[in-house]
Amino acid sequence: MIDYKKILNDYIPDNDENLRLKDIEDNIIKELKDIILSKSIDAEPVSVGSYSKGTNLKNSDLDIFIVFSKKYSKKDMESIGLSLGHSVLRNGVEKYAEHPYVSGYVDNTKIDIVPAYRIENGQRIVSTVDRTPLHTKYVIENTNDVLRNDIRLLKIFMKANNVYGSEAAKSGFSGYLCELLVINFKSFENVIKYFSKLKGRLLIPESSGKRFNEPVVIIDPVDPTRNAGAAVSLENLSRMKIASRLFLLYKDESFFYPKDENPRYHNRGTCIYIITLKRPDIIDDIIYPQVFKFERQIFNIADRYGFMPVSSEVSVDKNIEILIEMQRDRLPDVSKHAGPPVDNDEAINFINVWKEKAVRGPYIENDRLYVDSETVIKTFNDALNNELKRIDIGKNLNPLKNNIKIIKYKDEKFKVAEKFFSKDLFH
């Protein structure tokens, strides 16, 4: 029998933390209101996020939105919002998602102050963050203490099984999705039972699959035109299905606690390379899509040249590290090159082009022409350097091409190697 109360006690904030958060938030909102009133700004600070909904875990952030009248232009809304944010977070820094916001710390608690427009249900949004206050209102109106704790259990379970977080680095389930799932299925255990039996895509309601193509489709109750689950990857949906099935099979509390990372370094008999470059100073949501694009391009280059790639991994910290594992990193001196079928109109042209420069051939196998030609680019290092000159690896990574390092992995300590060799399925 799982002791859910014990698990919650390990993860949810105690009274002292809740009182501290309330004091910080009340002071910031009061200070913002005073400034807004003194400057006759048509705006209002509102508390949003997990703390305001009562679904937060220990050490949660505080999210405060400043909702403006639509009479302000987007430029003015952002400018005034940033000024207000800096007024109450003296050491705050500006960050950029869809539009800028101010982020800082008060008493070791992270605070985000985000400008947005004031909208009502059914009104057209100007930016995606405009919905957030409506999300907060919806969750508060559709939960009670029992459901809020079940939402916390689902968050804990997803965090422990590495599927939580909608940011680009994770492509997992957001806190809002956890709230919607528990509201829809009425309990944590019902959500787990649903995932354990789910075949194929997650569709809520089931008819929504006709409008959206993503693996997870959950229609946002405050905006029926939006798929709230669009960020979730197929891999994370699959992990959640398996985690749920294993949990119901073993009923073990370990599913609520992250397992220790324990890399099992071993000689795989393959060729492993690590491509590194210094990370540019931009936020995760901008850099990660470019890193994943670069990872796919490296894999495709290795495949196209014939190095037979097996797998890949990425790590983004102070440096960007991309690991590529291949069956070989050097090609034979001679490569077989396929031509057209013999009855193709281009067959004679192929023969004329290759008859003087082929190492062997042209010759016929079954109904197709072939030649053996000298391999010009023989190593993975040379192939990648050759392709880097021409490929687009992203707006922020392209200027850094000259500083990319290609390292044949032996036993050096790279974060991406630790991540690669730690890869294991749950418990």
What DSSP letter does each residue of 91-131 carry, written as one string?
Answer: T-EEEESSSEEEEEEETTEEEEEEEEE---TTPPPSSGGGG
Q: How far apart are CA 218 and CA 113, in angstroms?
A: 27
Q: Does the structure show a pLDDT above 70 at 35?
A: yes
Report field, pTM of the whole predicted structure over 0.75: yes
**pLDDT-wise least confident of 24-33, 155-164, 235-244, 250-259:** 250-259
Beta-sheet strand order (sheet of 216-220): 202-204, 216-220, 223-227
Q: Does the structure show a pLDDT above 60 at 317?
A: yes
What H or E segment, with its residue span, contains residue 80?
helix 74-88
Tokens of 124: 């057209």
164 touches 170 (CB < 8 A): yes
Output Rg (C-alpha) for the chain, integer angstroms. 27
**CA max distance for the chain:** 87
Instruction: Annotate 120-151 with three-state secondary structure.
Output: CCCCCCCCHHHHHHHHHHHHHHCCCHHHHHHH
Query: Which superfamily is assigned to 271-330+378-422 in CATH?
Result: Poly(A) polymerase predicted RNA binding domain (3.30.70.590)
Q: What does the pLDDT read at residue 425? A: 67
Tell me the pairing of strands 62-68 and 109-117.
parallel
Q: What does the pLDDT read at residue 126? A: 78
Angle formed at CA 20 by CA 112 and CA 94, multiple of 5 degrees: 15
Mean pLDDT of the chain: 94
Q: How far apart are CA 11 and CA 206, in angstroms?
A: 33
Other C-beta atoms closer than 10 Å to the C-beta of 254 total 12
| Sign of the dihedral through C-alpha 125, 130, 136, 141 | negative
Among 7, 119, 92, 120, smallest CA distance to 57 is for 7
416 touches 274 (CB < 8 A): yes
Cα–Cα distances in Å, from 375 out to 93, 270, 371, 383?
A: 53, 21, 12, 11
Cβ contacts of residue 424 below 8 Å, gap of 6+? 259
- The CATH number for 10-128, chosen from 3.30.460.10, 1.25.50.10, 3.10.180.10, 3.30.110.30, is 3.30.460.10
Q: What is the DSSP letter of 379?
A: B
Q: Could you read off the pLDDT of 336-395 as tens digits, one per residue?
A: 999 999 999 999 999 999 999 999 999 999 999 999 999 999 999 999 999 998 999 999
Q: Does the structure show a pLDDT above 80 at 121?
A: no
Residues of the chain with CATH 3.30.460.10: 10-128
Backbone angles phi, psi at 73, to 5 degrees: -65, 160
Question: 145-256 has which CATH code?
Answer: 1.10.1410.30
Q: What does the pLDDT read at residue 427? A: 42
214 touches 177 (CB < 8 A): no
Q: How far apart are CA 388 and CA 405, in angstroms?
A: 12
Q: How far apart are CA 298 and CA 292, in angstroms?
A: 10
Q: Does the structure show a pLDDT above 60 at 246?
A: yes
Residues of the chain with CATH 1.10.1410.30: 145-256
Q: Does the structure show a pLDDT above 80 at 41?
A: yes
